């Protein structure tokens, strides 16, 4: 079971540096809560973020290129630099950007740190990133994760290795949705889509008093590591994706999940009539193909990898493995594919 922040060990000298960085920024600027500025004060939590990203090993750190979104006073930036990694930091707040340029002038001159002022959701991210490690403003958590997913897909499609790990400090309630750790009620389109390509792990729980100013809720550290679920299922000879069923286009799987969860209280059979929005953007898909595939699904008994009578279930009743299986069956089926017994 993950430890809480109060149980993690702290280094007195490092804690003093954390406090110094925060005080230096506060001397010139007050936190802007509209930007979601809550400065992390707990050195043990900062150290855990570096450890969780796997950057405490010298050989890994030497080749790592880390993106930090919203560095604020630079407390996590300092930890990352101490580990020996290169940091590309994007900060929206002009006062914080100027502060970072002052306190890390040597590291910037040594080309160990780049500080860019702007919106991390709009700016281009540099090629070759290996990690994303940050304490982002709560209000951008969802679009930031979508941006990370897009960066990873583009990197891999371009022949690169992509990101090795992502470590984020998120609002507790949102982190549970990312990890889908509270059962069916926590399942949703974000967590499902992530689970197709990433393995998520919830780690430290961080209380409000670990920040200045205090947020109103607990936070949770989350690690994401690339993990292609379709490939994993394809290695299982007992699963249809490891036998005769071809995996669906990943974009179609994500679109299907979003479509069904738009009205999550409706049974799956009631989401068949209308095709997902923008389905024509998925290669090979169009409205008539959707109609044929869902008509074939009407005879749902005996579809390997799916529970019997699944069309009478609600979206949250299916696991991520079952959603991938369903999207693969839809990609395979045509009218007449399934015959009556």
Q: Find out whether 19 and 10 touch, Cβ atoms under 8 Å.
A: no
299 pLDDT band (50/70/90 cuts)?
low
At 6 the pLDDT is: 52
If one compares 135 and 37, the residue with the highest pLDDT of the two is 135
CA distances from 176 to 1, 154, 334 (A): 14, 27, 37
Domains of the chain: 5-227 (3.40.50.150), 231-332 (1.10.8)
At 3 the pLDDT is: 53
If one compares 105 and 29, the residue with the highest pLDDT of the two is 105
Q: Which letter, b or e, does each residue of 284-299 get, where b requires 16 or more Cβ atoms within 10 Å of its Cβ?
A: ebeeebbebbbbbbee
State the pTM of this model: 0.90
**Mean pLDDT over all residues of the chain?**
91
3-state secondary structure the chain: CCCEHHHCCCCHHHHHHHHHHHHHHHCCCCCCHHHCCCEECCHHHHHHHHHHCCCCCHHHHHHCEEEEECCCCCHHHHHHHHCCCEEEEEECCHHHHHHHHHHCHHHHHCCCEEEEECCCCCCCCCCCCCEEEECCCHHHHHHHHHHHHHHHHHHHHCCCCCCCEEEEEEEHHHHHHHHCCCHHHHCCHHHHHHHHHEEEEEEEEECHHHEECCCCCCEEEEEEEECCHHHHHHCCCCCHHHCCCCCCCHHHHHHHHHHHHCCCCCCHHHHCCCCCCCHHHCCCCCHHHHHHHHHHCCCCCCCCCCCCCHHHCCHHHCCHHHHHHHHHHHHHCCCCCCCCC
Edge-to-edge strand list for the sheet holding 65-69: 113-117, 86-91, 65-69, 131-134, 165-171, 219-226, 198-206
Residues in the chain: 341
Q: Quick one: tokens of 254? A: 């994500």
Average pLDDT over residues 150-165: 95
8 pLDDT band (50/70/90 cuts)?
low
At 337 the pLDDT is: 52
Q: How confident is the model over 174-232, as pLDDT tens digits? A: 999 999 999 999 999 999 999 999 999 999 999 999 999 999 999 999 999 999 998 88
Taking 50 as the threshold, does the pLDDT of residue 339 lie above it?
Answer: no
Taking 60 as the threshold, does the pLDDT of residue 338 lie above it?
Answer: no
Q: Which residues contact 199 (CB under 8 A, 6 or more apart)?
A: 224, 225, 226, 227
At 334 the pLDDT is: 63
Taking 50 as the threshold, does the pLDDT of residue 322 lie above it?
Answer: yes
Taking 70 as the threshold, does the pLDDT of residue 2 lie above it?
Answer: no
36 pLDDT band (50/70/90 cuts)?
confident
CA distances from 191 to 70, 130, 218, 291, 320 (A): 23, 22, 19, 27, 9
Q: How confident is the model over 44-73, as pLDDT tens digits? A: 999 999 999 999 988 888 899 999 999 999
Taking 50 as the threshold, does the pLDDT of residue 1 lie above it?
Answer: no
At 57 the pLDDT is: 87
Average pLDDT over residues 288-309: 83
143 pLDDT band (50/70/90 cuts)?
very high
């Amino acid at each position: 079971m993950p430890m809480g922040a109060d149980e993690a060990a702290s280094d007195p000298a490092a804690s003093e540096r954390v406090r110094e960085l925060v005080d230096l920024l506060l001397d010139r600027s007050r936190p802007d809560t509209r930007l979601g500025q809550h400065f992390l004060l707990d050195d043990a939590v900062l150290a855990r973020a570096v450890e969780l990203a796997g950057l405490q090993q010298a050989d890994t750190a030497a080749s790592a290129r880390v993106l930090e979104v919203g560095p604020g006073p630079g407390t996590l930036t300092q930890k990352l630099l101490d580990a020996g990694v290169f940091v590309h930091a994007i900060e929206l707040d002009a006062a914080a950007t100027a502060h970072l340029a002052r306190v890390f002038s040597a590291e910037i001159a040594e080309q160990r740190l780049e500080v860019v002022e702007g919106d991390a959701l709009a700016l281009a991210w540099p090629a070759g990133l290996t990690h994303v490690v940050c304490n982002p403003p709560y209000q951008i958590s969802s679009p930031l994760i979508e941006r990370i997913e897009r960066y990873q897909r583009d990197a891999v499609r371009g022949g690169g290795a992509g990101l090795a790990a992502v470590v984020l400090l998120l609002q507790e309630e949102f982190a549970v949705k990312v990890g889908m750790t509270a059962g069916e009620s926590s399942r949703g389109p974000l967590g499902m889509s992530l689970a197709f390509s990433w393995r998520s792990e919830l780690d430290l729980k961080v209380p409000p008093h670990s920040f200045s100013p205090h947020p109103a809720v607990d936070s949770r550290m989350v690690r994401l590591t690339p993990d292609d679920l379709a490939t994993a299922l394809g290695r299982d000879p007992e699963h249809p994706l490891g036998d005769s069923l071809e995996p669906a286009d990943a974009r179609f799987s994500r679109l299907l999940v979003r479509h069904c969860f738009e009205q999550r209280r409706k049974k799956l059979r009631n989401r068949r009539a209308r095709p997902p929005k923008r389905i024509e953007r998925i290669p090979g898909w169009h409205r008539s193909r959707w109609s044929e595939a869902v008509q074939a699904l009407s005879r749902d008994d005996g579809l390997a990898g799916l529970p019997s009578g699944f069309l009478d279930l609600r979206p949250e009743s299916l696991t991520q493995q079952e959603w991938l299986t369903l999207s693969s069956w839809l990609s395979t089926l045509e009218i007449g594919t399934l015959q009556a017994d």
